[in-house]
Amino acid sequence: MFSIGGTGWMLLFAAVAGVLCLVVGLVVGRWMGPMAGTAWFGLTWSIAVIGVVTLIPAQNGLGIVPADEHATTCSWDIGGPAPGGFWIFGGGQQLLNVLLFVPAGFFLVIAFARWRAGWVLIPLGLLALAAYSLGIEETQLHVARIDRACDVTDIIDNVTGATLGVLLGLLLLPALRPWRARSRGGGRVPEDAL
């Protein structure tokens, strides 16, 4: 039986996703400028990498995990099984869960701050990232074959990371100024036109 899992497969899928997301970034970049292209590349790739890291089995060759050996409920033990306690820098797994979502939150701000509706789109995007985290945990709960555990702490850590990314993006907005865009003629569109 052919099985997929482990770091090698994660890196392979992340690289393939990176190439596909680079195409998205190049298309957006030609249309809206290099900053927007970079932001959309970063946003789509970070979301893809989150999926790869959290939904591919951590070890190769697991085979079939019997349903009776898989958890049937999510862990509500705040702090979870990760070593070192709860919150941002409490332990290796929790730190990874936070850091995994920081780029998505950051690139979300850079991608949507160019529009006047960004003040609505950015909070909605943050909610979408929280829903994405919840969906991942639900998948981990119901798909025994990937041998992952559903844990509420992971959702808290993921949302913390996305929020930190959004705050970092907002902090760097004045320096990055993603609202600068190219006009169809190749020049710059005045900032107040967007």
CA distance 151 to 141: 9
Query: Where exactly are the structural domains of the chain?
Result: 7-188
**Model confidence over 2-43: pLDDT tens digits?**
677 888 889 999 999 999 999 999 999 999 999 999 999 999
**Model confidence over 100-115: pLDDT tens digits?**
999 999 999 999 998 8
Note whether 63 and 3 are within 8 A (CB). Answer: yes
CA distance 43 to 29: 13
- Per-residue pLDDT at 193: 43
Q: Is the pLDDT of residue 83 over 70?
A: no
- 125 Cβ contact partners less than 8 Å away, ≥ 6 residues apart: 108, 112
CA distance 8 to 3: 12
Q: Rounded to two decimals, what is the model's pTM?
A: 0.82
- Average pLDDT score over residue span 117-135: 96
CA distance 145 to 140: 9
